[in-house]
Amino acid sequence: MSTYRAYQVTGQRQFELVERDVVDPEPGHVRVRVLSCGVCHSDVISVEGMRPDPSVPVVPGHEIVGVVDEVGPGVTAWQPGDRVGLGFLGGHCGECMHCRRGDFVYCTNQPRPGSDTDGGYAEMVYARSSGLVRVPDGLESLETAPMLCAGITTFNALRKTGAREGALATLCR
Ligand SMILES: [Zn+2]
Ligand SMILES: [Zn+2]
């Protein structure tokens, strides 16, 4: 069985380079070969042990760009070779009350990569297929990774100002 390298953290700031087995993705999940992963302030949740049980190791990192390596049973939206991004919200369930109303961001059964599940400080990451976004050709993986969390936060704020493309200032409404 082949392995991949990952930096996991246990407790508070106890980083360790480990080898993990490469396994088949679960139903509805994909295995992604990580190309780049940003560093975000919210990594403190894992790095500083701000999780329900910090004694369980977790791989931090939730600004991930990679290439789909394998898809699990039931996954139809992605195929090996697709370049994808994975951020702080790791994929909605499609079944909870919020999902049934279309409020996927409030899904109550949504993993947070790098906190609840292993994230991108690794050569591989496993993700729920609904948590992935397609990364267009022409965007550099290294520059795109921070867009998956910090970037989308500032982008959404800018979008709500009503500023047009190329604008240097806008009036608050
Ligand atoms: Zn849900
Ligand atoms: Zn973040």
9 neighbors 58 (Cβ within 8 angstroms): yes
Is residue 171 over pLDDT 60?
Answer: no
The pLDDT score that the predictor gives to residue 12 is 96
Nearest ligand by distance to the CA of 146: 2
pLDDT band per the 50, 70, 90 thresholds, residue 169? low
pLDDT per position as a tens digit, 123-144: 999 999 999 999 999 999 999 9
For residue 130, which ligand has an atom nearest its CA?
Answer: 1
Indicate the pairing of strand 64-71 with strand 29-37. Answer: antiparallel
Which token pair is 118?
């292993």
19 has a pLDDT exceeding 80: yes
Burial readout 106-126 (b: 16 or more C-beta within 10 A, e: otherwise): ebeebbbbbbebbbbbbbbbb
**pTM, rounded to two decimals:** 0.91
Ligand 1: centre distance to CA 73 (Å): 20
